Amino acid sequence: MPVLPTSQAFLEQSALLLQAYPETTRITTKYHYPTERRAEKHKRQRSQAKKPSETESTPSTPIAAFVLKTYNPSTGICLKYQTNKLQEVGRLVTGLGKLAAGADVASLGLSGAGPVDVEMVDVNEDGTQANVNANATATANAGAKSKGKKKGGKGKR
Amino acid sequence: MAPPLSHDEFFSSLTTLLSKTTEQAHGSVYLTQKPMPSSESTSSPSILIRASDGNTNAPNPKSANQTGKIAKNRSSKVKFSTVVKPEDLEAFYTRYAEICKTGMSGLKKRDRKRKTKAKGGASKATKA
């Protein structure tokens, strides 16, 4: 059960899975508060009591989590993505809408290229981000070779 | 399974379910989407969307001898669903995203501090 590093990767992989098995694949969204054991709760409350100045800025409640899961029961393939940032929810849910409408990988890639968080780029600097750059340059080169026939698409960004 | 709700009913139920979970700071909300199973053409099927709170109405096997007491204390499962036709998908999901954003306020908010810092750094760089 792979947990994917970025929301973009999750949406792309899910699009592929949906393309392969459009009828049986389902996407589950879970919004949940982690269950806290008594000792953890006690610890959290004590640490907050220690710093009275920070009680206003830090929420007194535990932080919820947002988990996305794409599952195909016939093959047993399951893709997962987890976040706890509120700012990602809107983008992810609209992404799910595109998946529901049967969007392919290419259309997802284009739409997701716009607002990328600074934090996300930092996290994936070594792996995914490099791949994206490589792809972009590759398409740019291809476009130059074919005398600009491949305009639009990835070359635009 | 109860019959699917209309979009408006679904959204109002979802809003109350999300706000209740956030208020209690405990529990889960499950949302599932999948194509509506049908024998008709499969090019663009309707999407079935289910929401539940992840509880179960089945008795706890561990406390089988005192099920009556346990069942009384436990609130019953909340579940509802709706069907979205392919032509309504875009309108539905814009509302859906909005409701999720406002309802899931238990998640981490955007970090404003870092943003202002970055801005300051950028302006300095342009000055220099």
Contact B96 A93 (CB under 8 A): yes
| Preferred mutation among A24, A26, A32, A82 to probe B, highest tally of B CBs within 10 A | A32
This model's pTM is above 0.90 = no
- At CA A17, angle to CA A11 and CA A18, rounded to 5? 85
The per-residue pLDDT of chain A, averaged, comes to 73
Query: Among residues B117, B93, B124, B96, which one has the least CA distance to residue B29?
Result: B96
pLDDT for residue B66: 55
Which stretches does DSSP call E strand in A2-134?
A: 26-32, 65-72, 77-83
Q: Which of helix, strand or coil describes residue A27?
A: strand
Task: Please state the domain extents for chain A.
Answer: 7-113, 125-157
Where do the domains of chain B lie, and which CATH numbers do they carry? 7-56+73-127 (3.30.720.10)
* A65 close to B (CB below 8 A): yes
Chain B residues with at least one Cβ partner in A under 8 Å: 18, 21-22, 25-35, 37, 42, 44-45, 47, 54, 84, 86, 89-90, 92-94, 96-98, 100-101, 103-110, 114, 118
* CB-based contact B55:B76 (threshold 8 Å): yes
Q: What tens digit of pLDDT does each residue of B62-74 get?
A: 765 555 555 555 6
Q: What tens digit of pLDDT does each residue of A110-134 get?
A: 544 444 444 444 444 454 444 545 4
Contact B101 A86 (CB under 8 A): yes
Q: Is the pLDDT of residue A153 over 70?
A: no
* A105 close to B (CB below 8 A): no
Determine the residue of chain B that is closest to A21 in CA distance: B35
Model-level ipTM above the cut of 0.90: no
CATH number of A7-113: 3.30.720.10
Contact A85 B107 (CB under 8 A): yes
The per-residue pLDDT of chain B, averaged, comes to 80
